Amino acid sequence: MLAPTPSPSPGDPPDTDGLARFLRDFFGPVFLVIVSIVAIFFLFTREITRFAQFIVLAIAIGVVFYVPNIIESTAKAIAKALGVE
């Protein structure tokens, strides 16, 4: 059984580390599978231009999932912009 997590007090900052861990653990592998399938499709249909565009976009999105502290920094910036301290 999981231990109950304490409820945050009003002055506590949001748990951005937990959100980042969840996003990496869940969406990271799904992202890689989708990128692989689409890349193979573009290569088999010989659409090299669309393949190159897709790879550039996939690398940019992959940076979000795999570069340390990108998600945490973004989540903290969004929280700060929304006025959550």
pLDDT in tens, 61-75: 888 777 777 777 888
Whether residue 1 is predicted with pLDDT greater than 60 in this model: the reply is no
Residue 21: pLDDT band (50, 70, 90) is confident
Average pLDDT over residues 50-62: 87
Task: Please tell me the distance from the alpha carbon of residue 28 to that of residue 32, in angstroms, as a whole number.
Answer: 6
Task: Please tell me the distance from the alpha carbon of residue 54 to that of residue 50, in angstroms, as a whole number.
Answer: 6
pTM of the model: 0.53
